[in-house]
Structure 1
């Protein structure tokens, strides 16, 4: 509690200045979303979420702007990167129904499981071997294997990841996913894929939902439909992955507390308030939205409105995350991060290509 001192004239002043509020940072995020939306409208090939990340990074380094972003705007931008991301992930569940998953067949379901598993554990292993800092291997593995920046944000919520690790991972996954929009259509016919196979390959191998749509639509409506279905099956795996990470984090903390209890010199970070649930509330919300969508009772207008709201919320969150990127720090680990991104991209593209051919 701040100590209040009385002045002779009756006015009172605190011993410490009040921390800046969240409104300045939230206003910056709103402006960033508006600029990202405008960029997407002017250049439709640039997804709004990608533009939001880039604008956030730019804002954090522009002279005259970066001081506000890192100062008065930081609390609100952090709030956008965390809380708005949760709401966006919940609304993401309305894109998926149980019937959609069952309709593509068990062979495709098995293919998606293999792709996600191989990409996640392969990227995680290689990232640790390369000596990347903090939770970067976990976050990059999550983004590549599940659904890009949305998955990174969801996992970072339960892992307690450093904001800079989150921002770096989002920047890498967004960059590679954006490159896929230009590269994969060029490989459509040289790889001998028909439109259905190309759509499933894109859905299994490209990171963000918007990037999947932008890539698959180049091959027509059949490819686009298959790509979205396969991609949403990967999105469905977000819930069990986040739950597994939450359990792992809880166990590590329990082991650390036990070690501290047996060793007086050991230290364990203090935990404040209630212990977080093993399955975070926003993951339960995601599953609830999947169940709601599966009933078939939600009007199309509501689904369209929820999709627009989800895109806006995720754009605000990604602007907030992008504003936390510190390019000098990224450059110091840039070679290793780029190597991990390239290798992970090769793994997910190769495994998904083999899976599409085997399930054709």
Structure 2
């Protein structure tokens, strides 16, 4: 009897494939279209176009029961696989080169952002899960952080859609305003790269912002952004512990229980990052993993868009957008203040 699960695995996988294929037949084409849009207009990336395509479909006519398993599979499991593959972007050498200079700025801006999320979000009466998504999206790395945290806190499609859309608004503003701000303040490319990597959210928007300022700022901006991505791990683990304690009605958390709470995809993210840092992933597979991660995030965002509850999205109102604006300004001002106080770039 103990070997029965192994013997039945092929049939169970086949049944699961049949179950999810109809939904994937919706999400994958949307992701392909979103990826083409992102390639043509790099500042857009692929995550937001996938949601922008998926949400109107859900508003007009939400997918029926036949499509729900595949849509949910896209928005959950494939999203977690995408987070694992994100680890391939990290380099230990790059982290060591920029860590000493950038870490104080990153930790300060993250602390200010999370504190602002708690205080201002509560004052604006933004729903807890939505304000958490907006906070980590602003403080860490946009859609990737939202993708990592959403399954940890049990966020629903409408909340994820609103959070990603809110973050995107300020990514676009950053591409336009940050280069003007950098030139007005007389920042050198090295310093501007740190500012862009710290205060702009999604990687595609960091690249676009630094490129507009000058090609020499691009490399440092990307490295700073990838180091910032590491904050996904402690934040997600912390949130998983908080969520478990809340669900357990405040019962004491044991070490064994805390270890068991670490999401498998975050462990995978760390393992892939370590392998990449130690040279265990050749260049071609690493590039393939990075591209696959971006595409799977687009598939996940398509699934999330298709599962959006329009009524719930409308009920969120203008308050989350205002929260995103305030947090974005706080992060930018804090980054500039720490740069000035530490004399970075001089």
Q: Do they fold alike, i.e. is TM over 0.5?
A: yes
CA gap of 1:137–1:257, structure 2 versus 1, over 3 A, is same
Rounded Cα–Cα distance in structure 2 between residues aligned with 1:179 and 1:282: 32
3-state SS of 1:189 partner:
helix
3-state SS of 2:201 partner:
coil
> Cα distance, 1:349 vs. partner?
1.1
Per-residue displacement from partner, 1:123-175 (whole Å, max 9, x unpaired)? 23211221112411111111111111221122121222233222222221233
- Of Structure 1 and Structure 2, the greater helix share is in 2
Rounded Cα–Cα distance in structure 2 between residues aligned with 1:205 and 1:336: 21
Per-residue displacement from partner, 1:166-201 (whole Å, max 9, x unpaired)? 222222123322332233223221122121111111
Rounded Cα–Cα distance in structure 1 between residues aligned with 2:282 and 2:263: 28
Greater displacement, 305-314 / 243-252: 243-252
> Cα distance, 1:276 vs. partner?
9.2
- Point out where structure 1 has 5 or more consecutive residues left out of the alignment: 1-19, 259-273
Rounded Cα–Cα distance in structure 1 between residues aligned with 2:172 and 2:57: 20
Rounded Cα–Cα distance in structure 2 between residues aligned with 1:57 and 1:79: 17
Rounded Cα–Cα distance in structure 1 between residues aligned with 2:110 and 2:160: 20
Q: Which residue of 2 aligns with 1:302?
A: 285
- Point out where structure 2 has 5 or more consecutive residues left out of the alignment: 1-17
Rounded Cα–Cα distance in structure 2 between residues aligned with 1:316 and 1:124: 30
What is the TM-score normalised by the length of structure 2? 0.86
Which entry has the higher C-alpha Rg, 1 or 2? 1
Map residues 257-276 of structure 1 onto 2, 5 A cutoff: none
Q: 1:322 aligns with which of 275, 284, 305?
A: 305
Q: Which residue of 2 aligns with 1:211?
A: 205
What is the TM-score normalised by the length of structure 1? 0.83
CA gap of 1:275–1:292, structure 2 versus 1, over 3 A, is closer
Rounded Cα–Cα distance in structure 2 between residues aligned with 1:178 and 1:58: 21
Q: Which residue of 2 aligns with 1:171?
A: 165
CA RMSD of aligned residues (A): 2.2
Per-residue displacement from partner, 1:62-101 (whole Å, max 9, x unpaired)? 4xxx24x354433212211111111111111111123221
Aligned residues: 322
Rounded Cα–Cα distance in structure 1 between residues aligned with 2:233 and 2:258: 19
Rounded Cα–Cα distance in structure 1 between residues aligned with 2:258 and 2:282: 38
Q: Which residue of 1 aligns with 2:177?
A: 183
3-state SS of 1:132 partner:
coil
Map residues 1-360 of structure 1 onto 2, 5 A cutoff: 21-62=19-60, 66-67=61-62, 69=63, 71-255=65-249, 277-357=260-340, 358=342, 359-360=344-345
> Cα distance, 1:119 vs. partner?
0.9
Greater displacement, 155-164 / 347-356: 155-164
